[in-house]
Amino acid sequence: MIELLALASAVLYGSADFFGGLTARRANTIATVVWSQFAGLVLLLLVLPFLPATTVSSRDWTWGFVAGFSGGIGVAFLYRALAVGTMAVVAPTTAVIAAMIPVVFAFAIGERLRPLTFAGVALALVAIFLVSRPASTANAEVEKTRKNFPPGFGLALLSGVSVGIFFLSLARTNTAAGMWPLIAARISSIGLFAIIALVAKRTLRMDRTATATATLGGALDMAANAVYMTAARIGPLSIVVTLASLYPASTVLLARWILHEHLSRAQIAGIASALVAVVLIVSHGAA
């Protein structure tokens, strides 16, 4: 049951990232984030009356708001990276960095980590190097200006850090709080980017196609969050995060199927290494 929930969250997260990135190619990133996050909030509010009674503490609200800020920023970086870069490169890079965050956290609180975890970190660095290689020499001049990093690669790294903090924040909420931490997260993320849009004088208007894909992406993302949080609360976090962190696979498959993206052999090897690294990294524990 737990494994199925975690795998379901991976499929939903990956699909949400694909449609969010697709939207960001048609509209500005801020509008994409606000509309997708709003769509997810509406979906959750619609199903909330049918969920069991809950008891929400101030701690749950706090972690929910932290998750919202970090998740919102991570999604913005990710959508922009997916819009300007190759989805099959951006998604695994983000996943690897996000998976490394629990390792850093565990080390900071004094946990001794297994050698397998350090092997995962080393493989992650190799994966990042491989996926950062240009797919071809056709755009050599463009790549030189980016120091040989593909478009969106730096944003993918920043997104990974933010997403990792988001996962940690949700995992620290209590089961009794139900889905309320997700509501807090959505309120904070929508508020943050609405203010950014106001200050930056960016429009939130999008055409019908972009609105539709943003709505779909937001709904899928909220469903993924709910499934992930449920699984993380009732099962071993290492197993849940391991399976949930495989979400780039669905993003890559959708990008390959719908956008017909092409990759170099080095990048394919990097993507495979990234997925293996995610499994090794999040399967950490006390030695």
Burial 243-265 (b: 16+ CB within 10 A, else e): bbbbbbbbbbebbeeeeeeebee
- Tell me what pLDDT residue 147 has: 55
How many domains, the chain? 1
Tokens of 20: 């969010």
222 contacts 40 by C-beta, under 8 angstroms: yes
- Tell me what pLDDT residue 271 has: 82
pLDDT digit string, tens, across residues 220-232:
999 999 998 888 8
Give the dihedral sign, CA 155/203/217/63: positive
**Least trusted range by pLDDT, from 28-37, 116-125, 128-137:** 128-137
Phi, psi of 271 (to 5 degrees): -65, -45
**Least trusted range by pLDDT, from 61-65, 144-148, 172-176, 202-206:** 144-148
Query: 121 lies in a domain?
Result: yes
Instruction: Report the chain's mean pLDDT, rounded to a whole number.
Output: 84
pLDDT digit string, tens, across residues 233-253:
887 766 777 778 778 888 888
Query: 104 lies in a domain?
Result: yes
- Residue 110 neighbours by CB distance under 10 Å: 7
**Least trusted range by pLDDT, from 37-51, 115-129, 133-147:** 133-147
- Rounded distance, CA 66 to CA 60, Å? 10
Query: 245 lies in a domain?
Result: yes
Query: 18 lies in a domain?
Result: yes
Query: 287 lies in a domain?
Result: no
| pLDDT confidence tier of residue 207, bands split at 50, 70 and 90 | very high
Query: 207 lies in a domain?
Result: yes
- Tell me what pLDDT residue 253 has: 82
> What's at 26, amino acid-wise?
R
Which structural domain range is residue 231 located in?
2-282
Query: 52 lies in a domain?
Result: yes
Q: Is 176 helix (H, G, I), strand (E, B) or coil?
A: helix
**Which pTM does this prediction carry?**
0.80
Query: 171 lies in a domain?
Result: yes
